[in-house]
C-alpha cells in the first residue's frame, strides 16, 4: 500500500467518524433524527426561519454537514483504492523498464 493510498484511507476513516458524530448531535426541539432534519430542510427550504427555532435550524445544519462528510468519506475510500492500484501499476512499469 502506497503512502497516498494510506493517507486517503485515513482521511476517509476520519471523515466517516466525523459524519457519525455530527449525525448523533443533530437533534433539536422538533427534530429528533437526521432523517427528520433532512425532510424538514426539503419541505421548508425557503421558510426555515419562520417554521423552526434556532436549535432546530442548528440540527438541520449539522445533518447536512453529516451528509457531506459521508460523501467525502466514500470518495476518500475510492481514491485510496485508485491510488493503491495506480502505485502498483507504476512500480511494475518501472521494474519492467529497468
- What is the predicted pLDDT for the residue at 25? 52
List, for the chain, all residue ranges whose pLDDT scores fall below the cut of 70: 1-54, 56-57, 60
- What is the predicted pLDDT for the residue at 90? 85
- What is the predicted pLDDT for the residue at 61? 72
Range of the domain at 67: 3-97
pTM for the model stands at 0.40
Q: 454537514: which residue's cell?
A: 65
- What is the predicted pLDDT for the residue at 3? 62
CA distances from 57 to 9, 27, 31 (A): 32, 9, 9
- What is the predicted pLDDT for the residue at 18? 57
**Tally of domains within the chain:** 1
4 in Cβ contact with 76 (< 8 Å) = no
CA distances from 75 to 25, 68, 71 (A): 23, 11, 6
Count CA atoms closer than 13 A to 86's CA, side-chain side.
Answer: 9
- What is the predicted pLDDT for the residue at 73? 74
Residue 43 burial (CB count, 10 A): 10
- What is the predicted pLDDT for the residue at 33? 63
Amino acid at each position: 500500500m502506497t503512502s497516498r493510498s494510506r493517507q486517503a484511507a485515513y482521511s476517509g476513516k476520519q471523515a466517516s467518524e466525523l459524519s457519525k458524530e455530527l449525525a448523533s448531535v443533530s437533534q433539536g426541539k422538533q427534530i429528533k433524527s437526521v432523517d427528520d432534519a433532512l425532510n424538514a430542510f426539503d419541505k421548508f427550504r425557503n421558510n426555515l426561519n419562520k417554521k423552526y427555532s434556532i436549535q432546530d435550524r442548528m440540527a438541520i445544519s449539522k445533518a447536512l454537514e453529516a451528509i457531506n462528510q459521508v460523501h467525502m468519506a466514500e470518495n476518500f475510500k475510492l481514491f485510496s483504492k485508485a491510488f493503491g492500484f495506480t502505485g502498483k501499476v507504476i512500480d511494475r512499469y518501472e521494474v519492467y523498464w529497468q
